[in-house]
Amino acid sequence: MGLEPHQIQHWKQHQKLVTCSVTRGDILAMRPLLLHSSLPSLNPTHRRVLHFEYASIDLPTGLEWFENHKDCGPYGVA
């Protein structure tokens, strides 16, 4: 359930690109479904990504948070 490559190309051709520059130790917070990309890291072994999801409601019928899945072990690990 994502965008197809041709849809991404269409979006890039018809929308203004925005650059968000960050330096060492900075934090960039964004909506998770935002179409985004990044340049390769100068030192790929040091790039870190922390992904947090917050919600105060249950998901619609048929969907569930991973942490609530019956096969999920302690700390959200399957």
DSSP 9-55: HHHHHHS--------TT------TTS----PPPSSGGG---------
In the block, residue with structure tokens 């934090």: 27
pLDDT in tens, the chain (78 residues): 578 889 989 988 998 888 888 888 888 888 777 888 887 777 777 777 777 777 777 778 877 776 666 666 555 554
pTM tops 0.85 = no
